[in-house]
Every structure is written in C-alpha cells, then in structure tokens.
Amino acid sequence: MASVYDRQVDFDTFMEGVEKRNPGQDEFVQAVREVAADVFPFIEDKPEYHEAQILRRIAEPDRIVSFRVCWEDDDNNVRVERGWRVQNNNAIGPYKGGIRFHPTVNESVLKFLAFEQTFKNSLTGLPMGGGKGGSNFNPRGKSDNEVMRFCQSFMTELYRHIGPHTDVPAGDIGVGSREIGYLFGQYKRLTGRWEGVLTGKGCEYGGSAMRPEATGYGAVYFLRNMLTRSEHDVEGKTAVISGAGNVATHAAKKINALGGKVLTLSDSDGFVHDPDGIDQDKIAWVRELKNERRGRISEYVEEFTGATYHEGKRPWHVECDVAMPCATQNELEADEARALVDNGVMAVCEGANMPTTKNGVDVFHEADVLYAPGKAANAGGVAVSGLEMSQNAERVSWNREKLDDMLLDLMSDIHDKCVDRGAGSRGRVNYVKGANIAGFERVAGAMLAFGVM
C-alpha cells in the first residue's frame, strides 16, 4: 500500500510541524527557522536528506534530562531550582556545550542553544556534537558558599549523564572558572575519576591556556577576516560592544590590541559609553569589578571621568564602525539594527549566541552590512574547548603561542567555509547561509552513514 507520509515537505509545512511540536518555545523555533530557511533550498535537489528526515531529526534533541536541584542558602532556607541538560546531537562527537545559570534559563532557551551548538561545533571541524545545560538559578548576589552548594547539588544529578566520551559541558553565562571548579570537584568526588569531563577548567587542574580568551579573541579574528576580505582592517575602527563578561572583555582587549577603539560595554542594567576609549587598563578594571567584586557596570563612571552611563538602555544607538553583540540572545532588534545602519556601521560580528533577532538580521542583509552570526563568529570558545579535550586525553598541555596560532587557523577555516557555502552575487557573502549549510553538511553526512536511528 502506498504511504501517505510526505517525505519531501516544503519549508512552511516543516515549520508548522516544528511549532506544533514545541509549543511556547519561541527561541527554539526561531533558531530552527533560521537554519531551515537556508537548508531547505540547499537540499531541494538532494532527496536522500529528505528520505532520511535529517533536518527533522537534528531539530529533535536526542534527549533532555531535567532534574530538581535542591540546596540550602546561608540562612538555612531550603531552595529548589530546576536543572537541565539538552543532548541535541552526537553524530560527529560527544555532546559538547556550556552550562548557563541565569533566571531566564528554560527548556526553550537550552534547546535553542543546543541546536545552535550542533552547527557551531560542526563548523570547527573538531569531533564534537551539540549540547547545552543549565539552571534558572541566579548567581547574582549569592555568596561563594551558596554558589558552591548549588554547583555540588547540580552535579550530583548531572554526573550520571556526562563523561569524556559522552558529554563534556563547559561554562556559559553565569558559569565561569569559579563554578567550573566546584562542578569539576564534585564530579571527581562522586566518580573517583579525574578525567576531562568539563572544559574551561583552571590551568592547575587540566584547563587549557587561552580558553578564557578564546571566544572573544576568536570573534575578533573572525571580524578581521571579514574586514580583510573587503579590504578593510580593525585598525582605526570604533567598536560598540555589549556585555561585560568574559566574551565582551576579551573581544574588547583584542580590538584594542589590533588598533581599534572600544566605545561601550554593558550589563543587563544599562551601558557605559566612553568616548576616550575603553583601553586595556580600563578593561582590566572591569574584569576585576565583574569577577572579584561581582559589581555592576554602572560603577565604571565613578572610576573614569568622561564616560556616561545609560540606565535601562542598550548601546546600539552609539555611532561606530563595527558592532559586537557579546551579551545574550535577542539583544539587538530591528530598530536598533536600523540605527546602526543609519550611523554607518560596516560590520556586525556576534560574540553571543543569536543576539540579533531575525528582523534585525534582515536589516543588516538588506543594507549590505558584513554580518557574522554567533554560530560561526563565536566558535573559537568551543574550538579551544575541543583542544582542551585533546590535551586532557593526551595528558599534555600546550602553551599560549601554540594555542593562539591554532585558534587563528580555526577561525580562518570557519570563515573560509562560510565564504565557500555562502557566496552570493557580486562577491557578496551571506555568512548566515554559509554557516548553516557548512555546519549542516557535516552532521548530515555522519547521520546518513549511521542509517535510521
């Protein structure tokens, strides 16, 4: 009997299905839509991908583990949070991706991040599948002891689902070296094994040199590759950067090192604008403010004269040559993209994951602005995590120079893949399309080889 199952559905029908199966999960649907919009035309004449339902399978996580995380605060109150690990796809390597602690974390956000991570990790060329985890726990205002107790409780549930050959988490928003230390310590205590189960570790216990710098530096290397291709350079350019965490501050450092000038940094309360430039000393002060004193960016203007603080605002109306959103998802909307374009921005390079909304991306594309999506531009972080895994497996540690050279090569390689797969008319490149197709091809090729599962 002939099957009524339509193997080669069109884009709209496919997206209707994604929406129906993931009700209320707007971020996840947004991420899938963006990839599917490029993959559908690409696979139109490749029935084997349709037959095997490859995209449908990548857009359905292999599994989602969700668990209760119970801990005691400093006043002995019992607190209850929710934790997750989304294991999206392990066709090309163990699940790999960060852990995020932030009140905005929910299943939709982690599913979108794990989906994006699958393509990002594929682009690096290294053997890493896609995953993401986290909790709605808010580290802001918590003592070190509270964070430690939370991390230990979180790992007490998570440890049975991860391992150096199954799933290797790392940091993300709200999870830095302090949290990775507590998480790794608890894993080791529970299993009795010292192994490369997390990346972003301290250098004393198996971490890789250059891992803290890798996402921000890598994003600026990608930006430089884009600019070079259109016969420009970072030198002399003004940059507006959002965020004040690990990615933003290292991006800012590299912009300065290459002769650019950083005008802004931000956090979720507002942004600072320093027309004199946020130089290396000022960045060191911001890093100390955020990492040691756990303060807010508003304090910057008390320390440095000439700067202004803009409460409740994002920095996208400040005139600049390049913009680097390095804070969080959907932090740059269409009207802000329009303001950047009107002010003459030439390149936008994402250090965060999906910081620009779909309509914002359309504005950049229509205005012919060089635009690099996070899954390509911020892949340097996870790439050096992949190198940390290699070093742990070999029981060696490489020096900064070697790792920086490898990072440079990895970012050039990702850039070239985007150019190859995203080439359009008159020498233009659609980096979104290039990243989506190049990322998809590798995962899809592996999945085809495995058969139906």
Give the largest Cα separation in the chain, rounded. 78
Stretch that binds ligand GLU, among 52-60, 96-104, 297-305, 365-373 (CB under 6 A): 96-104
Active-site option among 96, 111, 120, 132: 132
Q: Which range in 53-61, 84-92, 377-385, 395-403 contacts ligand GLU by CB under 6 A?
A: 377-385
Is residue 99 a contact partner of residue 173, using CB atoms and an 8 Å limit? no
Euclidean distance between CA atoms 430 and 409, whole angstroms: 21
422 interacts with ligand GLU by CB under 6 A: no
Quick one: which segment of 93-101, 134-142, 250-258, 274-282 binds ligand GLU (CB under 6 A)? 93-101
Give the nearest distance from C-beta 249 to ligand GLU in angstroms.
15
C-beta closer to ligand GLU: residue 206 or 381: 381
270: exposed, middle or buried (Cβ count in 10 Å: 0-12, 13-18, 19+): middle
355 alpha carbon, distance to own chain's centre: 9
Question: What does the per-residue mask of binding to ligand GLU show for 3-32, with x meaning CB under 6 A?
Answer: ------------------------------
In the list 353, 356, 392, 430, the residue contacting ligand GLU (rule: CB under 6 A) is 353
Name the H helices within 22-139. Answer: 26-43, 47-51, 54-58, 107-124
CB of 379 to ligand GLU, least distance (A): 7
Question: Quick check: 79 and 159 in contact, CB under 8 A?
Answer: no
Nearest to 117 by CA among 131, 103, 100, 104: 131
Interacting residue with ligand GLU among 385, 391, 392, 436 (CB under 6 A): 385
Q: In the bound complex, what is the minimum distance in angstroms from residue 170's beta carbon to ligand GLU?
A: 3
Residues contacting ligand GLU: total by CB under 6 A: 10
247 or 337, CB closer to ligand GLU? 247
Which residue, 98 or 181, has its beta carbon nearer to ligand GLU?
98
- With respect to ligand GLU, which residue has the nearer C-beta, 239 or 382? 382
Burial 169-187 (b: 16+ CB within 10 A, else e): bbbbbbbbbbbbbbbbebb
Nearest to 270 by CA among 311, 325, 216, 318: 311
| 3-state SS assignment for residue 141 | coil
- As given in the structure block, the two tokens for residue 379 are 């892949």
Residue 170 binds to ligand GLU (criterion: CB under 6 A): yes
Minimal distance, residue 383 CB to ligand GLU, in Å: 8
> Considering the complex, what minimum distance in angstroms separates the CB of residue 25 from ligand GLU?
19
DSSP state of 292: T
The first and second tokens of residue 358, run together, are 């779909």
Token representation of residue 297: 């960016």
d(CA 353, CA 173): 11
Residue 452 CB, nearest approach to ligand GLU (Å): 29
381 binds ligand GLU (CB under 6 A): yes
**Binders in 179-238 for ligand GLU, by CB under 6 A:** 199
Residue 98 engages ligand GLU in binding (rule: CB under 6 A)? yes
Q: Which is nearer to ligand GLU, 93 or 97 (CB)?
A: 97
Q: Does 153 bind ligand GLU (CB under 6 A)?
A: no
Q: Please say if 132 is a catalytic residue.
A: yes
Q: What is the 3-state secondary structure (H, E, C) of 236-247?
A: CCEEEEECCCHH
> Which of 242, 200, 197, 198 shows the shortest CA–CA distance to 219?
242
| Residue 114 · residue 61 · CB < 8 Å | yes
Contact pick of 61, 93, 94, 97 for ligand GLU (by CB under 6 A): 97
Q: Tell me if 172 contacts ligand GLU by CB under 6 A.
A: yes
**Which token pair is 395?**
């029981």
Applying CB under 6 A, among 255, 376, 382, 429 the residue interacting with ligand GLU is: 382
Count of alpha carbons within 13 angstroms of residue 69, beta-carbon side: 28
Give the binding site for ligand GLU (CB under 6 A): 96-98, 170, 172, 199, 353, 381-382, 385
- Which positions are annotated as active-site residues? 132
